[in-house]
Amino acid sequence: MKRFNIKVLLFLFPIIIFSSLGFIYKSAEDKGIERYNTLKLENNIILIGDSKPLVDFNYSMLKNRFEKSSIINLSLWARNPQYIYSVYKSIFAKKKIRNSIIVYNLTYRQILNRSENLYSSTNSILISKRSLKELIKEKLNKKYEFQYNNNENGFIQIIGQKFGYISEGYDFYKTLALKSNPDLYTQLMYVDSIKTLFNSNNNIFIVTELPHDIVIDSIYQNMEYYSTFHQYIEKMFDNRLYFGYLKELDNANYWYNRDHLNNNGTDVFTPIFAMKLDSLIKEIRTSNI
């Protein structure tokens, strides 16, 4: 009996400690929903997508360019449009913002992610062994396998580099291609469904393809359905902001790996992105007058 009581105490101790400190485990999805839920009703810029928009920006630089807008990041690491739609569809439908800009990063890699996983809330005062582990990692800035800094409103910046062999990149995308098929339409329709939730109230929905390095660009250009992917985007989405390979980022010091910028790269890319986004917004609004 005594041994049993000790085991119970050992199990309850971390829960009591973390609960008393006000720590409740919230997943990235739950935090994104909360971030949107506390957003003001107009003059917002929302970035959404997978890992690339999560790490490819310097928040302070964006805020300096668009100082009158509230800027938040709702991106989710390694998630496809189907999953992202399952996370945000209810809150987007419930809370109708206006006069805002929604930028969805739509890359070929994301569309090739065929996972059919859907979101379920983990926001709970009950701390499981897994959530306790994730909470500790988060508090120690160890949520991801790389070194990073947390910026405001859901943005993070990677520090350092971790380049693999070029052959590994080819093998990775070759495997994705083998798993894929000409049905790019299914995942793209989930992006279109997200767009539909913002169709009214003078909002602007923009799809973008954030930058990759020259090696990834070469891989993409030689993949069977990459050109088809762009043809679909041009037919389905009027407002597009393409980057892909940029000469300005042709420097290994700017990249964590060949698909994600590090903090040096974000300082170079963010002003380029902000300038082009600002120009596109003005162009769209002028054409709508």
We report the CATH number of the domain holding residue 55 as 3.40.50.1110
Q: Which of 1-15, 19-33, 51-65 shows the lowest mean pLDDT across its residues? A: 1-15
Do residues 211 and 246 lie in contact, with contact meaning Cβ atoms separated by under 8 Å? yes
Pairing mode, strands 101-105 and 70-73? unpaired
Q: Is residue 6 part of a domain?
A: no
Residue bearing the bigger pLDDT, 200 or 120: 200
Q: Is residue 4 part of a domain?
A: no
Residue bearing the bigger pLDDT, 222 or 240: 240
DSSP 152: G
Q: Quote the distance between the C-alpha of residue 270 and its chain's center.
A: 15
Do residues 56 and 47 lie in contact, with contact meaning Cβ atoms separated by under 8 Å? no
Q: Is residue 12 part of a domain?
A: no
Do residues 75 and 54 lie in contact, with contact meaning Cβ atoms separated by under 8 Å? yes
Q: Is residue 243 part of a domain?
A: yes
**H or E, element range at 260:** none
DSSP 244: S
Q: Is residue 129 part of a domain?
A: yes
Domain residues for 51? 21-287
pLDDT for 22: 45
Q: Is residue 2 part of a domain?
A: no
Cα dist. 181→13, 137, 152, 173, 185 in Å? 50, 37, 38, 13, 10
Q: Is residue 108 part of a domain?
A: yes
Is the pLDDT score of 20 beyond 50? no
Residue 262 φ/ψ, nearest 5 degrees: -95, -175
The total of structural domains in the chain comes to: 1
Q: Quick one: residue 41, left, alpha or beta (phi over 0 = left, psi -120 to 50 = alpha)? A: alpha
Is the pLDDT score of 146 beyond 60? yes
Q: What is the mean pLDDT of residues 234-249?
A: 95
Q: What is the mean pLDDT of residues 85-106?
A: 97
pTM of the model: 0.85
Q: Is residue 3 part of a domain?
A: no
Distance CA 234, CA 231 (A): 5
Residue 258 φ/ψ, nearest 5 degrees: -80, -5
Q: What is the pLDDT of residues 247-276, one digit of tens each?
A: 999 999 999 998 999 999 999 999 999 999
Distance CA 260, CA 249 (A): 11
